[in-house]
Amino acid sequence: MAEDLLSQLKQMSTVVADTGDIDTIRRFTPQDATTNPSLILQAAQQENRRARLAEIACHSTDIDDALDAVAVEIGSEISALVPGYVSTEVSARLSFDTDATLARARSLIERYDRHGIPPERILIKVAATWEGIRAARQLEREGIRTNLTLLFSFTQALACADAGVTLVSPFVGRILDWHKAEWPDGDFSGDNDPGVKSVRRIYEHYKGHGYRTIVMGASFRNMGEIQALAGCDRLTISPALLGELAETQGHLERRLVPIDAETSAPEPQDEAEFRWSLNEDAMATEKLAEGIRKFTDDQRKLEALLAELRKQS
């Protein structure tokens, strides 16, 4: 009898739930879970959380304190259900401030520690800007593990690996979105998908040069993208696509296979090289900026929700 695709995928890649929804995590039993400001907002809007959110809002010193308290509370609930990492994101507003990112990351780790969650269970998510990558380098030296998000270019991937980050999250679907908008009649199916190509290139480069950084494909638009990356270190998948994979029977072919390192790592980029190379990539530049704005917008919505609950209490 044929196995469902999700079961087969779990034998090739570490499956991660891209959600803050507790019921989804219980249903699909992923190894890890990732959250971001948009997913925290969705989880926070659930009716059964309103009383606790109001309590957090009333006892917080300011809005930043409340936001981090909510993120850690939800992350702590998730940590009881997954054996591996839980990713929690630093405020997107700090994407261009290294020192502020460092302070916020350390604060999140301290909050998790007060919940009884050790640092090795947490990945601090940071936008893969130059400032974010610099912060991640320092955090890794302090024993705080990082997940570099909003990653759209090979340039960002090179800088992250050089910084020794624990994990990178290339955004497959958002890369595809940009190309579809630019070339509406283009054929981006299967191996022609530019997001799939991007992850494959990063994966092969990391393995070929002996980098230990984990590659985790993210932001999928369809099951085909996931199937095309079967075998990637990790894949973080939305509840809807986890459901599709679980309900689909058939053979899943492994597409990415680890290789032995053959060459030494290239020379690291300096800041000017990084910024110029990123600037030359219109897609990466636009999607990085858009992603930061989107996460910040959802953060503002959560701030408004907490402020309203505080007023009502």
List, by residue number, the catalytic residues: 125
Three-state DSSP class for 227?
Answer: helix
Can you tell me which residue has the tokens 């890649």? 13
Q: Count Cβ atoms below 10 Å from residue 201 Cβ, excluding itself.
A: 13
Provide the b/e sequence for 258-281 (b: ≥16 CB within 10 Å): eeeeeeeeeeebeeeebeebbeeb
Maximum C-alpha span of the chain: 62
How far apart CA 151 and CA 217 sit, in angstroms, is: 10
Return the structure tokens found at 130: 């130059």
Can you tell me which residue has the tokens 């032995």? 260
Can you tell me which residue has the tokens 């040069």? 209
Question: Are the beta carbons of 236 and 217 closer than 8 angstroms?
Answer: yes
Could you list the beta-strand ranges (E) of the chain: 14-18, 32-34, 86-89, 122-127, 146-151, 167-170, 214-217, 234-237
How far apart CA 220 and CA 227 sit, in angstroms, is: 11
Round the CA-based radius of gyration of the chain to a whole number and report it.
Answer: 19
Cα-based distances in Å from 113 to 66, 116, 211: 17, 5, 29
How far apart CA 223 and CA 248 sit, in angstroms, is: 10
